[in-house]
Amino acid sequence: MQYFALLIGTEQERTPEEGAAEMAAYGAFHAKAASAILSGDALASAATAVRVGGGPDAPMITDGPYAEGAEVAGGYYVFEAENLDEALALARDIPLAKYGAVEVWPTVHSLEPARLLTGNDWLALLLEPPGSAHTPGTPEWEAAAARHGEFMTAAGNHVIGGAALHERSAATTVRVRNGEVIVTDGPYAEGAEVASGFYLLAADDRDEAVKIAAMIPASAVELRQLAGVSGL
Q: What is the mean pLDDT of the chain?
A: 90
Could you tell me the pTM of the whole model? Answer: 0.91
The reply to whether 102 falls in a domain is: yes
What's residue 129's pLDDT? 85
- DSSP one-letter code for 54: S
Name the more confident of 57 and 38.
38
* 121 pLDDT tier (thresholds 50, 70, 90): very high
Query: What's the confidence (pLDDT) of residue 62?
Result: 86
Residues contacting 153, CB < 8 A, separation 6+: none
Element (H, E) at 89: helix 84-92
Residue 230 lies in a domain: no
Give the CATH number, domain containing residue 128.
Answer: 3.30.70.1060
* Model confidence at 191: pLDDT above 70: no
| 29 contact partners, CB below 8 Å, separation of at least 6 | 93, 94, 95
Q: Identify whether 155 is part of a domain.
A: yes
SS3 label, residue 218:
coil
Q: What's the domain range around 9?
A: 2-225
Q: Indicate whether 232 belongs to any domain.
A: no
- Model confidence pLDDT, tens digit, residues 71-88: 789 999 999 999 999 999
Percent of the chain at pLDDT exceeding 90: 64
| Residue 172 counted as domain residue | yes
Q: DSSP per residue over 15-46, as a string?
A: -HHHHHHHHHHHHHHHHHHGGGEEEEEEB--G
How many domains is the chain built from?
Answer: 1
pLDDT tens by residue, 124-134: 999 988 777 67
Which amino acid is present at 167? E
Q: How confident is the model at residue 211 (pLDDT cuts 50, 70, 90)?
A: very high
